[in-house]
Structure 1
Amino acid sequence: MSQTLESNKTTLKNDLFLRALKGATVERPPVWMMRQAGRYLPEFMEIREKYDFFTRCQTPELASEITVQPIRRFGMDAAILFSDILVIPQAMNIEVQMKPNFGPYLPNPIRSQQDVDNVIIPQVEQSLDYVMQAITMTKEKLNNEIPLIGFAGSPWTILCYCVQGQGSKTFDKAKAFCFTQPEAAHQLLQKITDTTIAYLKAKIGAGVNAVQVFDSWGGMLSPVDYQEFSWYYIQQIIDALKEEAPVIVFGKGCWFALGEMANSGAAALGVDWTCSAANARYLSGGKITLQGNFDPARLLSPPEKIKKMVKKMIDEFGKDRYIANLGHGILPNIPVENARAFVDAVKEYKM
């Protein structure tokens, strides 16, 4: 384990999140929320009115400010760097736009072997240097109060966007590419994997305390296809990073793979809201830290109801080997006081 990581751990004033990742006995579970840095906060909306999406990602001063906004407001136990999973394909010579009221748009999707051949494995320290600068600035702002999480999309999830060209409910073109041109698909997945490993290693070197891999579209695949087109590559990422920093894997809709995930070397597994605490503990073997699984839409419930549901969620998962979180990213229409109720309920938890 690197000295950088050890020094980060020993100087943090609140290391509850890192202790939970190690499986230590804790006084209460740590809490953070996926997509906590962003669109439900009025102070974020002020920045969004002035700068477009990728300007926010690529300007270290803005990315670091957005990262710490929710921490100032709610005092979560971990911060997650404001960025996007699609900075990786951008660095790989694939054009990615973020269209307002539409989402990601790739004008030249990858559909052939020639397209795959044109994809580069970049020098991430150069092409994604703005991310490393944002980490440095964020660490200064956090002042060793809490850990900082870095993240990346899973290779399969990145492939979905690169081939489909936009978001989708089925990712039919992405699946067709994998099933009709498997050799080209695996070459693309390996290029994404190699880039992701280098990227996350650079993030750890820059100071993040843990990393999370988001397999947002893993649940689109059958269990057999998941092994071939997604898990095989996530396992490479875990193997390359686990000695340097804790790795959290979140696969939306991937409950069927929790058993294998639990024996992968990952420090924790994210669980979405369609998988109960009891099933998640059973399927994962009961010995690994789990993270989740509050339905993001349930944050629309009244604050008192949210607090009761959060207590029930923690009771069901158990306070140890558990990180309180949502089952996916926070929705943009969540009232600020409801987000506060979620965080406060975890911080006030008693057996």
Structure 2
Amino acid sequence: MTTPDHRFLRALRREPVDKTPIWIMRQAGRYLPEYRATRERAGSFLALAQTPELACEVTLQPLARFPLDAAILFSDILTIPDAMGLGLHFVDGEGPKLRHPLRSVADVARLGVPDPETDLRYVMDAVRLIRRELAERVPLIGFSGSPWTLACYMIEGEGSSSFSRAKALALDDAATMHRLLDTLAQSVARYLCAQAAAGAQALMVFDTWGGLLAPEAFRNFSLRYLAEVVALLKSDRVARNLPVILFSKGANGHLEALADTGCAALGLDWTIDIDEARRRVGARVALQGNLDPAVLAASPEAIRTEARRILDGFGAHPGHVFNLGHGITPDIDPERVAVLVDAVHGE
């Protein structure tokens, strides 16, 4: 499949664009009434994510409302642990849980690298369907959780504010943790390569919990494996041609090292000024971000002001993709999103 020269992809290549491109993390989500209706029809989040036709439907919903510059596959970051047999399920009000978390060295040793076209066929089918339905209106982003973030959930068995079990394993038995992370790096790379082959036009890795690590631990257990994933993608015949975006939330102290992984772009959370980030990484990578998601709960005037502050902070340089500093929250009025998109596009 050929890819038109979309402004989103041009920005990731740090080339001039007519307007700053924008997409929004979790742009297909509970803030949209049409998403809530589709999810209710599906019966559960998992049924929604694992039914390619429904995943396609909700992926396209925000594009029908807003002139966004990219679509992102509707899925979940815990698809890989589920394919490894850990039993992903969701509890209302509590989020994702794994029925069989890793509790021993033997548990880690038993893990294998999933085959995306068999163990995760529903994701690949969704990518193919979405790409076809998009008809090149905008590019499609595929994604995965990072090795460290997946390990956190696999060891803890659920979300956590500290992921102390994962940190303890890294300290007490680094060899086992590295074995787990290496398996996950291979799994993430293979998964993303399959998404590329199915039609994704950019790839994003969400290192959601990298910022929980102290500096040395971040380098050993997060950064090392992000770099490994990028290297594996660059060795793939199809994926090597796709831009890779790394988003390591809370890891602003490591921007230079993240830029050195060979990725095309870094996602930024909202706790750093974008002009500071650009000064630090220079022209090595594009930058994506970085509006505080809570701004969308403010007035239209405040939204426009904050959007302009970020645009001015980045300046008249190539290589900016506007986004939030994390995912949009369910309480947001869709009309506020429309205000933001128009403000970024200068309309």
Provide the TM-score with structure 2 as the length reference: 0.95
Q: Residue 291 of structure 2 corresponds to which residue in structure 1? A: 294
C-alpha separation between the residues in 2 aligned to 1:171 and 1:282?
32
Q: Residue 289 of structure 2 contacts residue 322 of structure 2 at CA under 8 Å; is this kept in 1?
A: yes
Q: Which runs of 5+ in 1 are unaligned?
A: none
- Where do 1:133-282 residues align within 5 Å? 133-242=125-234, 243-282=240-279
Partners of 1:252 and 1:162 in 2: how far apart?
19
Equivalent of residue 316 in structure 1, options 303, 313, 317: 313
Task: Tell me how many residue pairs correspond in the alignment.
Answer: 340
1: CA distance, partners of 2:290 / 2:247: 11
Q: How far apart, CA to CA, are the structure 2 residues paired with 1:263 and 1:155?
A: 18
1:39 paired residue number: 30
Deviations 1:200-227 (A, max 9, x none): 0000000000000000000000111111
Contact kept? 1:112, 1:184, Cα under 8 Å: no
- Note if 1:103 corresponds to 2:100: no
Which one of the candidate residues 19, 36, 40 is aligned to 2:10? 19
Counterparts of 1:116 and 1:264 in 2: how far apart (Å)? 27
Aligned partner letter, 2:323: N
Q: Give the SS at the match of 1:65.
A: helix
CA distance in structure 2 between the aligned counterparts of 1:129 and 1:110, rounded to whole angstroms: 24
Q: Tell me the alpha carbon deviations over residues 295-330 of structure 1, each in whole angstroms, 9 at most, x when there is no partner.
A: 001110011220121112111012521000000000
Tell whether the 8 Å contact from 1:214 to 1:250 is kept in structure 2 after alignment: yes
Are positions 1:305 and 2:302 aligned together? yes
Which residue does the alignment assign to 2:345? 347
TM-superposition CA deviations, 1:68-93 (whole Å, max 9, x none): 00011102000000000100111112
Native 8 Å contact 2:226 2:261 kept in 1 = no
Q: Are 2:113 and 2:187, in contact at CA under 8 Å, matched by a contact in 1? A: yes
2:200 alignment partner, SS class:
coil
Q: Partner of 2:85 in structure 1?
A: 93
Amino acid at match of 1:110: L
Cα deviation code 1:216-247 (max 9, x no counterpart): 00000011111110111110111122423110
Alpha carbon RMSD of aligned pairs, Å? Answer: 1.2
Query: Is there any run of 5+ residues in structure 2 with no aligned partner, and where?
Result: 235-239
Tell me the distance in 2 between the aligned counterparts of 1:160 and 1:260.
22
Which of 323, 327, 331 is residue 325 of structure 2 equivalent to? 327
Aligned residues with identical type, % of pairs: 44
2:116 aligned with 1:124: yes
CA contact (8 A) 1:93 1:120 kept: no
Counterpart contact for 1:259–1:285, Cα < 8 Å:
no
The whole-number CA distance in structure 2 between the counterparts of 1:54 and 1:79 is: 20
